Structure 1
Amino acid sequence: MNKDEIGGNWKQFKGTVKEKWGKLTDDDMTVIEGKRDQLVGKIQERYGYQKDQAEKEVGEWERHNKYRW
Structure 2
Amino acid sequence: MNNDIAEGKWKQIIGKAKTAWGELTDDELTKAEGRADKLAGLIQERYGKTREEAVREVNRFFDMYRD
Select the structure of larger CA radius of gyration: 1
Unaligned runs of 5+ in 1: 1-5
Q: Which has the higher helix share?
A: 1
RMSD: 1.7
Taking structure 2 as the reference length, the TM-score comes to: 0.81
Higher relative contact order (CA 8 A, sep 6+): 2
- Equivalences, count: 63
- Aligned partners of 2:10 and 2:34 also within 8 Å: yes
TM-score by length of 1: 0.79
Listed as ranges, the matches of 1:1-69 within 5 Å are 6-63=6-63, 65-67=64-66
What's the secondary structure of 2:34's corresponding residue?
coil
**Distance apart, 1:29 and its partner CA:** 1.4
Gaps of 5+ in 2: 1-5
| Deviations 1:3-56 (CA, angstroms, capped at 9, x unpaired) | xxx221110110110010001012211321121110000000110000000011
Name the % identity. Answer: 44
